[in-house]
Structures are given as C-alpha cells and as structure tokens.
Amino acid sequence: MALSDIRRILISDSLAPACAHILRSQGGIEVEESPGLTPAELIAKIQDYDGLIVRSATKVSAEVLKAGKRLKLVGRAGTGVDNVDVDAATKNGIIVMNTPTGNSISAAELTCGLILSLSRQIPQAAASMKQGKWDRKKYMGSELHGKTLGILGLGRIGKEVAIRMQSFQMKTIGYDPIIPPHVTAEFGVQQFSLEEIWPQCDYITVHTPLLPSTTGLINDAAFAKCKRGVQVINCARGGIIDEGALLRALQSGQCGGAGLDVFTEEPPQDRALIDHPLVISLPHLGASTHEAQNRCGEEIAQQIVDLVKERALLGAVNAPALTKAFSPDTKPWIQLGEALGVLLHSLSPELRGAVKVSTSGDSLKSSGSFLCSAVAIGLLRNSGKKVNLVNGCLFAEELGVQVTSQHSTDSTESRLEVSAGIVHLIGGLSSTEPCLRQIGSSAFQSPVTLRGTLLLWTGEASPGKLLDLLSLAGLHLQSFHIASGYSMAAISAPLSDLSQLGSCLQITF
Ligand code: 9EZ
C-alpha cells in the first residue's frame, strides 16, 4: 500500500520510447504503452495499474482516478497538469507529478522566435510572398538592438529568454516576486516594480504560472501605462495577457503587435485576436520539439524510478510537503508521526478539534507539513478511509480535526510532540526506531519503542497479573516502562482479554 509500491504502469499517450525503457531497466517496472484509448477503455483498464503516465491527449478525469483502485501516481510528461483532475487525485490519495523543467529551453527559444518575428513581421511577410505579392513597403520593421525587453517571471524560462535576447543587444529588465534581484542580476536582468516596468518596455514577455495574481497581469490598466506601440508575447499560459484588453490595445494602436502561443480557450473559438494582422499566433507549440518531448519522457520516468527506489519525490504538484518526505532520514520520523497519531487516538478516541504537531531540532525544521499528514494517518487508521501522506490532512479536516504544525528552535534535540486537548505526547528516535519519551509531564525512564504490541496503563499497573496472563497465552514480556502515572509493556503478540489488567489499553503498531 506504500505510495512507492509501483509495479505496473500504463502509458496512455504517445511518449518518447526512453520513458518506458527507463521505467523497465532502472525501476524494474512492468510497463504497457496504449496510446489512443477511449475514456471508457481507459476506465476499464486502469484498475490493473499502480501508475498512469500521460502527455496532453489523455484526460485524467475523476472517473478515471476513481476506477484506478490501485492507482498511486499520475505522471504528466510536460509542464502543467491541465488535463488531470488534481483535486480528485488528492482526495483519492494519488500523487500527481509533472516535469516542470523539460520544456524550458523549447519555450524560451519559441519566445525568442516570436520576438524576432514581431520585429520584422516575418510570418506576415512570408505569407504575402506565398500569395504572390512583393510587398516591400508594408513590411518595414525595427531593430531589436538597443530596445528594452521586459520579462515578467524570471524562473528558468525567463532567464533563458534574457540570456538569448541579450545577444541581440536588447536591454533586459524584469520582475519576479520570488527570485531575488541579486540572482537575476547575475544573468543580466535588473528588477523593477511592475509600475516602473510598463513605461520602459518596447517588448514585454510573460513567463509566470497562471494564478489568480497573474491572470490578466497585462490588462487595460497595464497597457495604458506602456509606451505606445508596445509589443507583447505570451508563450506561458492563456489568460496572463487579458485577451479583451489586448484586442482593444491593438485596435487603438497602444499595442503594436502580439505573439501568442497560448489562449484562454484552446483551440480558441473567438478568432478576433488571431485574425488581427499584427498578431502572430501559434497552436500551443512551446513544448513541441523532439528534444523537449524526449527530455520530458526521460524526466517523468526518472522521477518515478526515484520514487520507487524511495530516493526522492520530485515534481509532485499535489503533495508539496511530501517532496521532503522521501529521504531515508525522514522515514523513521514519518513512522513516529503515525505511531504518535495512533497512540493519541487510543488515549483520546473522539476525533474532533485541534491537533497540534510540534517539531524541534534543526533536522525537522521544514518537516511540519508531512509530519501533520503522518499524524493524521495514525489518527485515522481505523476510519475505514484510504488514508496516506497525500490526503491525510484533508481527511482529518473532513472529520473535524485540524492538524497544524509549529517548529520550535528552543531545543537543538530533534523531537516530535503531538497534542490534542489534555493529551500531550513527546516522541523521538532511538537510532532509527520511533519511540515515546513522555506522556504529559511524565517522562519514561527509558524510551518506549513504538512497534509491535504495547499495553498502556493509566494509573496502577499490575505486572504480576500481566506475567500470569502472558504465560497462559504463550506470549512473553519484551520490556516494561514506567513513568509517573503511566506504565507500558511491550508484549510479543496481542492479548485477547484485557479485563483483568485494570485500566489498560492495547495498541498495535
Ligand atoms: C507575478 C509573477 C511574476 C510570479 C511569478 C511566480 C508566483 N509567481 N508570481 C507577477 N512564480 C511577474 C509578475
């Protein structure tokens, strides 16, 4: 049931052959390639697979995800996950993964191609030749030399565009809310506020994700602040340049040309922009190169092999917290989180209200969110739901439990604390074994390893009775631990009758 237990994968789109080859040869995974399935055929087939890899053609709907009873992973060979119902995947505990880097160079090169095309109206002039014309007056252009290019979004693609356009002696300026100015200065991009950018630019290109904050980033208000005749390029996501505003700006002459590879609706029903003579449009070709396709096929396969080998989880879009959870160092902490969740649920069976997860020690500094999921798995172990690290917190929330985390820098020692109401548990690792150190303010004299079967007494323990019962049942006592007000015993297997042991809980990990 582990997320990394992936034996059979279905590839349902046409992908680079390297993808299946890497999965088979490096991951030992059984792979079937079936491009062109109908939705009904995919739904019928998916139940036999642990993983599904797609490019753009397959629509991974909620029905497909639900039919995938064994499905743990959907991989998209490319940037974005527009054809995957990510919310439904999360609810079903299925990791969704993409390859955010494989297309960068192709997207950057296409952007540069559109900038050059706009400066000289190359596509329009070429089309007029095909129509038998020889129109030398109409296609007077402008040099890029000395012009200013504004780059909005300075991640991998924005950076590669900057480096390339600098070789045409363009001045490259830009804005990114995340990448610090000293980083972009190293590749020759000075950052300004958006307000300062608009009036400086001859060309503006966008390289951001599509978010509420970037939808309509270039709108009527922005165009109004630009130089008259500014040219704009969108090879990122449809909608970052507001299509209505762009059409108005083209009609008024405020915008002097646009290069568009992406649209809010694809293929676009509204042809007004595409039909405008100053618009150069393309049918979403940013990633359409042999190199990008090969790279994405290889990258998705490599990421899945890394997951199967439990080396790393890269490229997951619906489990950001999990990205850190797949290192060998964190595995025992996840086991501890689950164990403390189980124990907490045993001590405080009504699942309601707030559960606080506190970490301390440098090694757990950014582990809060996956440890919340781990604790939620423990809490919900008997809920009958298919709970895992992808959906743990979501399910807890649905049952009225809010699991939140905080990190304390007070202690340098790594430890994990879990509390709900008056129950407070403190755990840690004893080498790599999850163990309980403290309940409330009562510390155990030696840490209690949270494995196998444990008995927990609140109040008086009766060790004599226990030994009698164990010998009658043919079991044995592995260890006994005392803290003030609590006792714990590790026993070799569960006892079927606890009635003679007083106020005693039996917990199996
Ligand atoms: C927003 C952005 C870039 C941008 C880039 C990224 C979250 N985010 N936002 C406005 N990664 C330029 C202008």
What's the 208 CA to ligand 1 centre distance in angstroms?
Answer: 5
pLDDT tens sequence across 217-231: 999 999 999 999 999
Reading the block at residue 216, the tokens are 């309509």
Return the best residue to mutate from 208, 240, 242 for the ligand 1 pocket (most ligand atoms within 8 A of CB). 208
Same fold, 8-101+291-318 and 104-132+141-281: yes
Return the best residue to mutate from 204, 207, 214 for the ligand 1 pocket (most ligand atoms within 8 A of CB). 214
pLDDT at 159: 98
Name residue 241's amino acid. I
- Binned at pLDDT 50, 70 and 90, residue 350 comes out as confident
Residue 393 has pLDDT above 80, yes or no: yes
Return the best residue to mutate from 189, 193, 213, 317 for the ligand 1 pocket (most ligand atoms within 8 A of CB). 213
For ligand 1, atom 10, which residue shows the shortest CA distance? 214
CA distance 117 to 38: 39
Return the best residue to mutate from 176, 189, 206, 217 for the ligand 1 pocket (most ligand atoms within 8 A of CB). 176
Q: Are 188 and 148 in contact (CB under 8 A)?
A: no
- Which has the closest alpha carbon to 405: 451, 476, 354? 354
Give percent helix, percent strand, percent coil of the chain, each to the nearest 5. Answer: 35, 25, 40
Identify the DSSP state of 227. Answer: P
pLDDT at 1: 53
For ligand 1, atom 6, which residue shows the shortest CA distance? 208
pLDDT tens sequence across 395-447: 999 989 999 999 988 778 899 999 998 899 999 999 999 999 999 999 998 99
- Which has the closest alpha carbon to 198: 176, 179, 180, 224? 224
Class of domain 8-101+291-318: alpha beta
What's the 381 CA to ligand 1 centre distance in angstroms?
Answer: 40
Pairing of strands 486-491, 504-508: unpaired
Please name the fold of domain 319-450.
60s Ribosomal Protein L30; Chain: A; (3.30.1330)
CATH of 104-132+141-281, one of 3.40.50.2300, 3.30.365.10, 3.90.1150.10, 3.40.50.720: 3.40.50.720
- Which has the closest alpha carbon to 92: 59, 70, 109? 70
CA distance 343 to 506: 10
Atom of ligand 1 nearest to the CA of 152: 12
pLDDT at 422: 87
* DSSP per-residue string spanning 400-436: TEEEEEEEE-S-SS-EEEEEETTEEEEEEEETTEEEE
- CA atoms within 13 A of residue 99's CA, in its CB half-sphere: 26
Q: Which CATH architecture has domain 452-509?
A: 2-Layer Sandwich (3.30)
267 upstream amide cis, omega within 30 of 0: yes
| CB-neighbour burial class of residue 212 (10 A; exposed 0-12, middle 13-18, buried 19+) | exposed
For ligand 1, atom 3, which residue shows the shortest CA distance? 153
What's the 180 CA to ligand 1 centre distance in angstroms?
Answer: 12
- Which has the closest alpha carbon to 61: 77, 78, 81? 81
Q: What is the mean pLDDT of residues 156-169?
A: 98
- CA atoms within 13 A of residue 81's CA, in its CB half-sphere: 24
What's the 209 CA to ligand 1 centre distance in angstroms?
Answer: 7
What's the 214 CA to ligand 1 centre distance in angstroms?
Answer: 6
Q: Are 61 and 87 in contact (CB under 8 A)?
A: no
What's the 217 CA to ligand 1 centre distance in angstroms?
Answer: 9
Pairing of strands 279-281, 453-458: unpaired
Atom of ligand 1 nearest to the CA of 153: 3
Centroid of chain to Cα 239:
22
- Which has the closest alpha carbon to 406: 369, 363, 351, 354? 369
pLDDT at 330: 87
What's the 34 CA to ligand 1 centre distance in angstroms?
Answer: 37
pLDDT at 464: 86
Q: Which residues are annotated as catalytic? A: 237, 266, 284
pLDDT at 26: 96
- Binned at pLDDT 50, 70 and 90, residue 319 comes out as confident
pLDDT tens sequence across 76-131: 999 889 899 999 999 999 999 999 899 999 999 999 999 999 999 999 999 999 99
Atom of ligand 1 nearest to the CA of 211: 7
- Binned at pLDDT 50, 70 and 90, residue 163 comes out as very high
CA distance 45 to 69: 11
What is the residue-averaged pLDDT of the chain?
A: 94
CA-based angle 236:237:239, to the nearest 5? 130
Q: Where along the chain do its domains lie?
A: 8-101+291-318, 104-132+141-281, 319-450, 452-509
CA distance 56 to 59: 8
Prediction pTM value: 0.82
Q: Which residues line ligand 1 (CB under 6 A)?
A: 152-153, 175-178, 208-209, 211, 213-214, 217
CA distance 92 to 88: 6
Identify the DSSP state of 258. Answer: E
Atom of ligand 1 nearest to the CA of 155: 11
- Binned at pLDDT 50, 70 and 90, residue 255 comes out as very high
Atom of ligand 1 nearest to the CA of 194: 13
Q: What does each C-alpha distance from 287 to 109, 170, 266, 464 come to in angstroms?
A: 10, 25, 15, 72
pLDDT at 421: 87
Is residue 121 helix, strand or coil?
coil
Residue 277 has pLDDT above 60, yes or no: yes
